[in-house]
């Protein structure tokens, strides 16, 4: 915590020095969303280059003065929280003054900018993300406050903890981890008791694009157990994008890649080639939108696709057919096809990429 306080004090000292010299104070932050500032490393995923381009948030410029003020406001809130050892969610910060901040996304972006500027992970700033992910299956752990959590005996899923760094005593006999894109599929597998029928496993869903805590938990489970991690996504560009976030990270959080990515993640399904192999009726598939075409074209250009020739092949099948499918399409074969046939066969015959 002393490191965090010192980093904030240095920023404020810079502001005061500028004022003393009758200069307009400036905050310098990295261009987090520029692909030119990103390098791809097989072992880490997408990470920010050390000498990346920056942008200035000036206090004397109408376009950025408000953002400058909001950054100082949030820095002061973080400083007080670290000093008093209290925590707040990004939502708490937004609701502390909704008129001032305007929208939640403004708060989210500023907190990420501050984390990147100070080179300090967000958790160490005492800012917690609101969790939306669920975990179930063969896993138990102790939360930071001493609460024991057992996901194994629970008929319903457990919410991913809001302070993943603080959990300890993780124990599991799981043979693999299954990341499920959607909540509906996750609940279906839970109802079918999938995690104990085939072999003991841990199931996680970020319920769409994963929040930070869900990604941190996947990484923590990988560090703790070193067991295979599989993804179950829709056969569409959006599903592929989500899988890439778990595996290689995102551009906007590339400065924290080391804590968030798991490059060993495997694509289990739903593969575009599965649709042909299983003779899925064309009427059950959904035609691409213009947005789907653009998303797929952008994914195919990304640096990590060149080192995944089998993934590239699948994406090319999708691009050629201009058709996509949700995991639920398997119910057209039979209501429990996913948990009774599809997943057990995939796992037994190593049908992943």
Q: Are residues 143 and 45 in the same domain?
A: no
| Per-residue model confidence (pLDDT) at position 40 | 84
Q: Are residues 182 and 309 in the same domain?
A: yes
| Per-residue model confidence (pLDDT) at position 327 | 92
**95 has catalytic annotation:** yes
* Domain final position from 128, 151, 178: 128
Domain count, the chain: 2
Q: Are residues 220 and 332 in the same domain?
A: yes
Instruction: Write the burial class of residue 320 (CB in 10 Å: 0-12 exposed, 13-18 middle, 19+ buried).
Output: exposed
Range of the domain at 73: 2-128
Q: Are residues 39 and 160 in the same domain?
A: no
Q: Are residues 114 and 227 in the same domain?
A: no
pLDDT tens, residue by residue, 91-137: 899 999 899 899 999 999 899 889 888 888 877 898 887 788 999 99
Number of neighbouring beta carbons within 10 Å of residue 15: 17
Q: Are residues 195 and 235 in the same domain?
A: yes
* Domain final position from 61, 96, 128: 128
Q: Which residues of the chain have pLDDT under 50?
A: none
Q: Are residues 193 and 207 in the same domain?
A: yes
Asked if 214 and 177 count as a contact pair (C-beta separation under 8 A), the reply is: no
Q: Are residues 245 and 156 in the same domain?
A: yes
Q: In a 3-state reduction of DSSP, which class is residue 134? A: strand
* Domain final position from 62, 95, 128: 128
Q: What single string gives the DSSP state of each residue in 31-66?
A: -TT-GGGEEEETTTEEEE-TT--EEEEESSSTTTHH
C-alpha torsion 162→217→181→277, nearest 10: -170
Q: Are residues 112 and 205 in the same domain?
A: no
CA-CA-CA-CA torsion sign (179, 188, 273, 285): negative
Q: Are residues 180 and 276 in the same domain?
A: yes
Residue partners of 180: CB distance under 8 A and separation at least 6: 186, 189, 203, 204, 205, 232
| Per-residue model confidence (pLDDT) at position 279 | 86
Q: Are residues 337 and 307 in the same domain?
A: yes
| Per-residue model confidence (pLDDT) at position 154 | 61
This prediction's pTM: 0.84
| Per-residue model confidence (pLDDT) at position 178 | 95
CATH number at residue 99: 1.10.10.10
| Cα angle, residue 331 at apex, residues 329 and 335 outer, rounded to 5° | 170
CATH number at residue 265: 3.40.1360.10
Please pick, among 87, 95, 141, 342, the residue that the annotation labels catalytic.
95
Q: Are residues 19 and 86 in the same domain?
A: yes
């Amino acid at each position: 915590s002393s490191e965090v306080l010192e980093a904030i004090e240095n920023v404020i000292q810079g502001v005061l020095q500028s004022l003393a010299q009758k200069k307009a104070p400036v905050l310098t932050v990295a261009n987090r969303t520029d692909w030119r500032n990103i390098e791809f490393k097989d072992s880490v995923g997408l990470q920010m280059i050390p000498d990346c381009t920056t942008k200035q948030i000036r206090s004397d410029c109408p376009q950025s003065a408000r953002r400058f003020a909001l950054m100082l406001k949030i820095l002061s809130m973080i400083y007080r929280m670290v000093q008093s050892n209290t925590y707040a969610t990004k939502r708490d910060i937004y609701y502390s003054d909704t008129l001032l901040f305007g929208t939640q996304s403004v708060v989210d972006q500023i907190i990420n900018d501050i984390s990147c500027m100070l080179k300090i992970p967000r958790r160490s700033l005492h800012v917690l993300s609101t969790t939306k992910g669920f975990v179930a299956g063969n896993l138990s752990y102790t939360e930071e406050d001493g609460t024991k959590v057992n996901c194994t005996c629970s008929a319903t899923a457990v919410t991913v903890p809001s302070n993943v760094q603080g959990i300890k005593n993780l124990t599991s006999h799981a043979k693999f981890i299954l990341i499920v894109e959607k909540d509906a599929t996750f609940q279906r597998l839970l109802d079918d008791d999938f995690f104990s029928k085939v072999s003991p496993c841990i199931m996680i869903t970020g319920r769409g694009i994963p929040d930070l805590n869900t990604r941190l938990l996947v990484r923590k489970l990988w560090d703790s157990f070193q067991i295979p991690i599989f993804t179950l996504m829709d056969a569409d560009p959006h599903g592929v994008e989500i899988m890439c976030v778990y595996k290689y990270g995102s551009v906007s959080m590339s400065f924290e890649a080391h804590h968030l990515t798991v490059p060993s993640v495997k694509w289990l399904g739903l593969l575009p080639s599965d649709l042909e192999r299983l003779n899925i009726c064309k009427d059950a598939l959904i035609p691409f939108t213009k947005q789907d075409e653009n998303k797929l074209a952008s994914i195919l250009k990304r640096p990590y696709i060149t080192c995944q020739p089998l993934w590239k092949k699948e994406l090319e099948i999708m691009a050629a057919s201009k058709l996509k499918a949700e995991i639920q399409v398997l119910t057209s074969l039979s209501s429990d096809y996913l948990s009774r046939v599809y997943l057990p066969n995939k796992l037994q015959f190593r049908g992943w990429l």
